[in-house]
Structure 1
């Protein structure tokens, strides 16, 4: 069972893995759930709400965005020689960085909106049942894309999710 604090009508923030995952992956721990698939029965250790809020807020996306933008800048030599060679080569070189900047900017907007929505008082706490099918994490009878991403890209979270599932 995975504990969740309510931050919106159908929006919940995870309250167990938050301190274990890579800070950039904390954004993925905000997920929509229908309340009818959540239970009130406390099972696992839960991070206090203030700690969850602090950990979520400390993700420093501005610095990552700035670093990625700096990587896309042209050097003086590139400015001089860009007309002499295929500009497509340059675009291919920076294409990945441009999409990273876009992705990080979207994540920053999500973080800001969730922080704005998070109540100042301790919100309701519920639990959701987890299972694993292949490399997919299942909640409420279907694949949970957020937890599946965390499961496949964060080793500490993978081990902890397996512990939570097999502890039953």
Structure 2
């Protein structure tokens, strides 16, 4: 099993994974986010990304004072000053969440924070389940997922369609 808590596996991956590794390390994104235990989740790590797929970086963030977090990110210059960043706060699955979106060298980047360790966040758990399913079902299944994604279907619903899951967001957590 790949250790998804580091970026090392990306160095030996497909073209998109290698490019993601280069961009994230060149800008020292994970180094700057280190105290928030960043983990790359989503489609790029498991090789089912399509054009426009983002780099989902999930972090553990104490959101009792989100301004402190944003101030700290600004001080660390997480992204270059010329990069526009959009910030949104919301409640997801009953948890306060913060999302920072930007473009970095052609990659849409999403930094997502909840006060939950990343390896317990749904994005990570979904990715692990999807990875296991892809390993079990093989390349044909993987290509079907990619085709559904190219048609605009989100990742979890694509798995849900092919696996006939009633509620893919919940059902994938059971894998």
User: Quick one: higher RCO (CA 8 Å, sep 6+), 1 or 2?
Assistant: 1
TM bucket by the smaller chain? under 0.3
Larger Rg: 1
TM-score calculated relative to the size of structure 1: 0.26
TM-score calculated relative to the size of structure 2: 0.25
The structure carrying a bigger helix percent of its residues is: 1
